[in-house]
Structure 1
Amino acid sequence: MVKKAQKNSAQDGEEYVSTVLSLLDEEENVVSDVQKEIFEDEIKELPPIKEGQLNVSGIYAYDEGDKLEVKIYVRNGLSDKLNLKMIPFVIKNSKGDILAAQQFNLSCLGELPPHSARPIKLYFDKKNVKVDKIPQDDWEVALNGEFNVTSTVRPIYEGLPEGISDEDKLVFNKFLAELPEMEEGQFSISTFSIGIQTNGNILVTAVMRNGSNQPITINKMPMTVLDAKKRAVKSESFELKDFTVSPYRAKICNFAFPTDVHPEQDQPLDGWSVAYKLVKINGKVNVKRK
């Protein structure tokens, strides 16, 4: 086994961020307290990193015969959560010579919280190792070239309907909190509710989320209502006027589909859904009257 000699690169006047151990939920209950203490001690010995950096630091390299096992810590020095995918790694010496190079899928690390560190073992195929032996005191793991890193965002509401009750606010906030986090730059539409009103309108309430750093304006929205058997029953393209969702915000929007069905009271359409595109209609609106 080759143990990595740690160097403290901190210099007076430079600001660094501390990173703390973060394990996946499924690991929290199986990793012993002793092992967690070892992880935490190793993290304390790692060189400091600056705010905004994504850092990898090697702990050891162990020759397993057909593979080279390398334990590293991935540290997120950003104030945002990160998701890592295909990441190219190299092992190099102090002269910059490449000793090994391989790409790894780090999606298994899950979502990295801000200012966190997670351990992982990389297994370099021997065909990707360019030397017979990794020098004991002269190696480091580094990121190499371009790689896929995504940060996640959780938009908050803007422009809630006037006069909305505190109870309804709680319901909408709970719905928004339970939606999956978005990758930076994404835009999503989620169906909050579908019901039919006494006036014959099928009312769809949707929540639109903007995960980008630019406002997004929607002028036209094609939509199709599907019944519980996923059959298209109503389809329409709505013209929206001045509907803009600000960066990292969510907005509620209602869409009404007129029908000839007039129930005695408003009722939810359980099991129904919405396709945010136009779908050919084959059937009729079939709603039981209470």
Structure 2
Amino acid sequence: MQRRFRELIYRETGIKMPQNKDHLIASRLRKRQIALGLNSLDSYLAHLFDGGALDAEWPEILDLVTTNKTDFFREPAHYDVLAHTAIPEAFARKSSTEPVQFRLWSAAASIGAEAYSAAMVLAEAARENRLLDWMILGTDLSGGALAKARNAIYPAEELAPVPPELRQRYAMRGRPGARSREMRIVPELRRRTRFEQLNLIEPPYPVAFNLDVIMLRNVLIYFDHDRQTKVVNNVVDHLRPGGHFYVGHAESMIVNDPRLEQLAPATFRRKDTI
């Protein structure tokens, strides 16, 4: 029965769950097993496959089996490249009086820390030059993670990696009481950052083309080689020539798209021609 579950997860999400991860499956599904009053993992799996509960349980399963580990300003070199290379290059392509549209896609957005970190960088650039018109799309497979991203409320300690001046400007402290240890991203950033559910193994994607930056970080490691190649190729289709593509630092060697040239570890640019 667990093999059937592993095959289902791979088929529907692309996530590899080998047999030696059965203990991980059991621990993650235990929450649903308990919630439904079932006495074992096997009884829960039978409830899914033989009891007809799979469709109803599927959103819960997605939230439990996907890894939503993320941090604000994780792998900070990418945000430095965004601020000091990608954004200036966007201005260099336009006249000094023409508005600059800058579009970024956080393609494995999780609970939104990556997207809001990028939003802070872009908002800072817009403070210096009001011609910058930026928007961010965050997508993820997990509906639960996306709900947290849209809500944009985080324990204060999770915003510790944010530079103090940015944290003061772009995060609001909760009112005294139960929420005093929480912070919320300011409305100005939330208005320019939207989140949608998307499965990376199900192209074509309902995402705009000719994007300036795509962040596909720390998700490829969960796919096998064939899926990794297809996802990178499909995602890069949405990147404009000259646009930037960022992956996790453990994923640099995975990227093998002839349209990309490597600028730095885990940092690529789409070539103007191939």
User: If the TM-score is normalised by the length of the shorter chain, which range does it land in?
Assistant: under 0.3
TM-score by length of 2: 0.26
User: Does 1 or 2 have the higher relative contact order (CA < 8 Å, sep 6+)?
Assistant: 2
Using the size of structure 1 for normalisation, the TM-score is 0.25
Q: Whose helix proportion is higher, 1 or 2?
A: 2
Larger radius of gyration: 1
Bigger strand fraction: 1
